[in-house]
Structure 1
Amino acid sequence: MSDATPRPHGEPTLTELADRVWVVRHPWWDVNVTAVEGQRGLLLVDTHTSDASFAEVLEVVRRATRAPLVEVVNTHAHLDHVLGNAAARAAGEGVVVTGHEAGDWEGHLPRSVAAYDGPRAEEAAAAVVSPPDRTFSSVTAIDLGDRVVELVHPGRGHTDGDLLARVEDADVLVAGDLVEESGTPVWGEDSWPMEWPLSLDLALELVGPATVVVPGHGSPVDRDFVFEQRSSIGVVAETIRDLASRGVPASEALAAGQWPYPAEDLAHAVRRGYEHLPRSQKRLPLI
């Protein structure tokens, strides 16, 4: 599985973050879907894990606004954030889905869907993988008429196709799984542990003292939370670098390191980190 532990119980909740900006927090995966209304219509950031869960999210959004759905943004190509894309297209007329060009729609995503055996697995398996209509490399924007949603690729981290969605006039930043509130940040088989801290450095440049940051999972957070999480993710990267430079084999690194998170959550981080380090930063273990 690629993200937070799925939680099947409870009801989705709706929280107003700013003028015409809401977040729906769904108990399945404890995932967030953010809604932004403009004169042209409604934009949703992420679409959850199935046709049914997308419908549940949209029903909650409709308590706040009846604006027609016109735009969807995918923060990254993981099953719990994008498998509702097809249902989102069907829920509006001419809905355009935007994501980063590096999203792994043909590799990691279908493998993770096939491997998922948690709550509502049949729903997830039945969902049609529906990639974005529009992709970008570094920065783009979506005009909603009276407001603009800026999309920024800060670099690789949780995946190689992470993006940030910024609603500047509302001082809201949607961070996807680059920021996690409901548990340990997730380093999966497609993560970039050595680059994640640098991506968060760029994200922090977009976060002011009053900015509301929407994580991929859990409650909205502030700049201090993002800064502290960046520091811990940075410790993971530097610990990997230090262990490798001292000749500690990857197979022994989890036991040898002093980690800011439970070692059992860091297996992919260590493996991927060792793979991504240049040869010059690794010392051959003494025999």
Structure 2
Amino acid sequence: MSARWIEVADGVHVRRHEELDLSLGLVVGNDACLVVDTGGDEVQGAEWAAAVRAVTPLPWTVVLTHAHFDHAFGTQAFLPCPVLAHPNCVDELVIDGAEDKEKWSAHYKTENRPDIAKAIRDTRIVLPDTLVSEPTTVDLGARIVEIAQFGRGHTDHDLVLRVPDADVVFVGDLVENGAPPAFEGSFPASWPTALAGVLELTGPDTVVVPGHGDPVDSAFVAAQRADIAAVVDLARELTAGSVTLAEVLRDSPFPADATRRAIGRLTGRNRSGR
């Protein structure tokens, strides 16, 4: 798979993958390194691990920003090592992991990409062994990485990583660059609050690394937060009967398909999305 490096700060790297426009992270300290997400299957995970080893031989710790296949299914290639995640990430991998393997394997088979379909199908899902339910830090040697969770957003377990000395923040799929936010299975009503937490970590020069797309700045995050809040407000108006669905789709800052998914999480039978 085609991929390239971006060094966003000294010793802080982003691996940009053409497939799914995926961004994976690497933070290098004096004594250890930290790997942010592991890719979508064991093959991609092995390629990612080899790319990390081309940068540094230091021992690694893995942090999963969330449980979705493209961020969490490549972990086997990094073992043995500590694997950090939110407790709900473990739950989702246990409950939905096998179904996600079948779903995405079928997706790539339909796209006539049997190599990726097989890689996903053959992947061994690894469960994180170190749970992060409170703010914590990882000491890499002369460099600290802070890890926090700001509530439900893209999932109910999104982890955010901050590298204070480099002014870089990794946010997983709480932010999307180049595509609308992925609302399927999300919590749109509380997502703006999660992004408010992210913004508290940022300044005008902060580099924010989304789960997909090139790095962005705090202004981009603020704008996406405002757009998600606007869709939440439109859904409330729709529920109250003050606007029609056609008007919601017209006024939404996102394409119709994404807006429908967000509305579905906020209304009707999908009230868990609140």
TM-score by length of 1: 0.85
Name the CA distance, whole Å, in 2 between partners of 1:64 and 1:87.
16
Name the CA distance, whole Å, in 2 between partners of 1:100 and 1:172.
21
Q: Letter of the 1:140 partner, please give it.
A: T
Q: Which runs of 5+ in 1 are unaligned?
A: 1-9, 280-287
TM-superposed CA distance for 1:139, in Å, is 1.1
TM-superposed CA distance for 1:112, in Å, is 2.1
Count of aligned pairs between the two proteins: 260
The alignment partner of 1:33 has SS state of strand
TM-superposed CA distance for 1:40, in Å, is 2.4
2:265 is matched with which residue: 269, 272, 280?
272
Name the CA distance, whole Å, in 2 between partners of 1:197 and 1:241.
15
Q: Show CA shifts across 1:52-111 (max 9, x none).
A: 11122233333432323x20000000000000111111xxxx410000111211233332
Name the CA distance, whole Å, in 2 between partners of 1:269 and 1:110.
25
Q: Show CA shifts across 1:14-72 (max 9, x none).
A: 1111111111011121111100111221110000011111122233333432323x200
Aligned to 2:67: 77
Q: 1:65 to 1:121 in 2, by over 3 A?
A: same
- Structural mapping, 1:55-74, within 5 Å: 55-68=46-59, 70-74=60-64
Q: 1:14 to 1:244 in 2, by over 3 A?
A: same
Name the CA distance, whole Å, in 1 between partners of 2:46 and 2:259.
34
Cα pair 1:14 1:61 within 8 Å, conserved: no
Name the CA distance, whole Å, in 2 between partners of 1:100 and 1:81.
14
Aligned to 1:102: 88
Q: Letter of the 2:65 partner, please give it.
A: T
The alignment partner of 2:45 has SS state of helix
1:127 is matched with which residue: 117, 123, 126?
123
Instruction: Name which of structure 1's ranges 170-179 and 262-271 shifts more when overlaid on structure 2.
Output: 262-271
The alignment partner of 2:8 has SS state of strand
Name the CA distance, whole Å, in 2 between partners of 1:141 and 1:79.
25
TM-superposed CA distance for 1:198, in Å, is 0.9
TM-superposed CA distance for 1:277, in Å, is 8.0
Name the CA distance, whole Å, in 1 between partners of 2:39 and 2:175.
17
2:34 is matched with which residue: 29, 32, 43?
43
2:23 is matched with which residue: 32, 36, 48?
32
The alignment partner of 1:159 has SS state of coil
Cα pair 1:54 1:88 within 8 Å, conserved: yes
- Structural mapping, 1:115-194, within 5 Å: 115-116=103-104, 117-118=107-108, 119=113, 120-188=116-184, 190-194=185-189
CA-atom RMSD in angstroms: 1.9
TM-superposed CA distance for 1:137, in Å, is 1.7
Name the CA distance, whole Å, in 2 between partners of 1:88 and 1:238.
43
Cα pair 2:209 2:216 within 8 Å, conserved: yes
Aligned to 1:259: 252
Cα pair 2:208 2:217 within 8 Å, conserved: yes
Aligned to 1:237: 232
